[in-house]
Structure 1
Amino acid sequence: MEAIVIKRVYDCKHHDGTYRILIDRLWPRGIKKIDLQIDEWNKAIAPSAELRKWFAHKEAYFEEFTQRYIQELNIKKEEVQRLRSIAQKTPLTLLYGAKHPKINHAIILKNYLLKIYG
């Protein structure tokens, strides 16, 4: 499997030679669609709206959020497999908009892909 990296959209707007996927359900605030150079916007792999709202990026909820998001990923087998296929061919960048670099769903998704398929 090629490398999987995560980057915050606000720090990495330009194409870097990897396959770039925005993995947020909502478009990041303050960024024009034309300015963010991505290969796809994958809302399907993002946490559900209900889970995202419940979590609200509160550090105290991150452990339970991780478990709940993994349960959602377990149901999204086709989409996870598709991401795996991409990562097998080319380096993959998972882009997210959350403020906190260590408390976000991109970390969970990356670890999930590496653990399940790495």
Structure 2
Amino acid sequence: MKPEYYDIPIEYLVQYGWGRGYFSSNVTFEEARNRVHSLVDKLQRRFLLLDSSMREATKMHDVVRDVAISIASRDPHGFLIRSHAKNNGWPNLATCDHYTTISLVGNLEI
């Protein structure tokens, strides 16, 4: 999960959606990209996503971000979200093998 009001390149959303298998196997990458652009446009018109000063990017309102984190956190084996990863470092990988998605936000020191 990105920090509040972070510029999110739409191409990242396409890649994440593709990697998570959110698109049918008979959808091309270009069709997936068009679908994500359409969804981002709809969410911006409904004020759930915000315009970005960057081209081909969007921003997430802090309230929407908090709700998304809350929903993702309900599945204890699906998502690991660390918003201040810099302070905590890398999680113990031996305890992370059951997560389907890991989001570490911050400047990690390796």
TM-score for the superposition, normalised by structure 2: 0.30
Higher radius of gyration, 1 or 2: 2
Give the number of the structure with larger relative contact order, counting CA–CA contacts within 8 Å between residues 6 or more apart: 1
